[in-house]
Amino acid sequence: MKNNEQEKITNTAPKGTHMHSHKKLVSIVIPCYNEEKNIPILYEELTKVLSKAPFDYEIIAVDDGSKDGTWTELLKLAEKDRNMKLLQHGRNMGMTQGYQNGFDHAKGDYVLTYSSDIEIDPEEILNVVNKLDEGFDVVNTHRVGRWKTGKATSILRTLPSAFANEMIVKITGVRLKDNGSGLKGFRQFVVKNLRMYGEMHRYFAAYSSLFTNKITEIEVGYKDRIYGTSSYGSITRTFKVFFDLFTLKFLVDMSKKPYTLMPGRLFGSTGVGLFGLGSLMALFLVVEKFVFGENIGDRPLLIFSVMFIILGFQLVMFGFLGELLMRIYFDVGDRKVYTIKQVVNL
């Protein structure tokens, strides 16, 4: 009888207690850099939507070494709202590192990314969460009207962006129209497997294809920022992204065929090939010299044979070093790509 009474008491717990733990928790990760004036507006617009949402939420704002009053504004909000979780970098580390920091600290069942310049209406967050509820593991957003006609930088930035998107499709097999959108949604298991560096935040959704094939994209409206200019978006950064495509290709191939692109095999096989080719050239010249009495001192083939032998040997050594570095990378432990200066509400 006591057990039954205890069960009744447990089942009739008042609102606001642990009985609400069944609600989904959504973590929203927002890197911020020199966004002092946008922070109050960002908070107001986000909370207006999230306070009415059918899920619990936490906002993880990562101050990426801002030089203005961004951190001060964030602190004001965190003092009055425990849902505001703050992380501060010791210096400007980059947007990818900001996202990675937020991902590492996110506790939500779903983890969303959002831009501090409020380029996408916060209402779209609900649409992303709905798509995740439908069973998708990754939801990307396509900013309709992002590149307006008549802007001088439009062509300069859309062409590289379009080329990069096509390259991503070829590499990952995931066709997304807008890899650079700030609003994305992930199930927790995806972000916990993401380990990104450089400028590779633009490939979050595509790179997720290593962990799931349930990826979709929805269209969202776009609006220009109210204050300031983007500290992360520049034409120079757009071109830097192309270098990260090679890394993405390597990571994708390593994941799908982990033994065909091991450093020892990649460099070793190339090195052995060059060494063998150089040795054959050298053998041919030795035969010509000592059997046929030919002069080989001024033959270009002699230079190539020596060059191939040396280069081949060096590549084999690089392969060995690569194997050692890979084992260090996987074995040494929990190294971070960011430095945390302060933590609030976490």
Instruction: Determine phi and psi for 24, rounding to 5 degrees.
Output: -65, 145
Q: Within 13 Å and on the Cβ side, how many CA atoms surround 219?
A: 4
Query: Would you place residue 4 in the very low, low, confident or very high pLDDT band (cuts 50, 70, 90)?
Result: very low
Least confident window among 79-88, 141-150, 152-161, 297-306: 152-161
Mean pLDDT of 308-319: 88
**How far apart are the C-alpha atoms of 158 and 146, rounded to whole Å?**
10
Q: Model confidence over 200-231: pLDDT tens digits?
A: 777 788 788 888 989 999 999 888 766 556 55
* pLDDT at 9 exceeding the cut of 70: no
* pLDDT at 183 exceeding the cut of 70: yes
**How far apart are the C-alpha atoms of 165 and 180, rounded to whole Å?**
9
**How far apart are the C-alpha atoms of 72 and 335, rounded to whole Å?**
29
Mean pLDDT of 158-187: 79
* pLDDT at 85 exceeding the cut of 70: yes
Query: Would you place residue 44 in the very low, low, confident or very high pLDDT band (cuts 50, 70, 90)?
Result: very high
Q: What is the pLDDT of residue 268?
A: 75
Q: How many CB atoms lie within 10 A of CB 16?
A: 7
**How far apart are the C-alpha atoms of 279 and 306, rounded to whole Å?**
8
Composition of the chain by helix, strand, coil, percent to 5 = 50, 15, 35
Q: Which has more pLDDT, 31 or 176?
A: 31
In the chain, the N- to C-terminal Cα span, in Å, equals: 42
Report yes or no: 109 and 213 within 8 Å, Cβ to Cβ.
no
Q: Which has more pLDDT, 340 or 264?
A: 340
**How far apart are the C-alpha atoms of 89 and 321, rounded to whole Å?**
32
Strand partners, 315: none
Query: Would you place residue 137 in the very low, low, confident or very high pLDDT band (cuts 50, 70, 90)?
Result: very high
Query: Would you place residue 38 in the very low, low, confident or very high pLDDT band (cuts 50, 70, 90)?
Result: very high
* pLDDT at 338 exceeding the cut of 80: no
**How far apart are the C-alpha atoms of 323 and 70, rounded to whole Å?**
43
Report yes or no: 98 and 63 within 8 Å, Cβ to Cβ.
no
* pLDDT at 75 exceeding the cut of 90: yes
Q: Model confidence over 244-274: pLDDT tens digits?
A: 676 677 666 666 555 455 566 667 778 888 9
Which DSSP state fits 13? P
Q: Which has more pLDDT, 63 or 160?
A: 63
Strands 84-89 and 340-344: antiparallel
Q: What is the pLDDT of residue 156?
A: 55
Which DSSP state fits 203? G
**How far apart are the C-alpha atoms of 105 and 101, rounded to whole Å?**
7
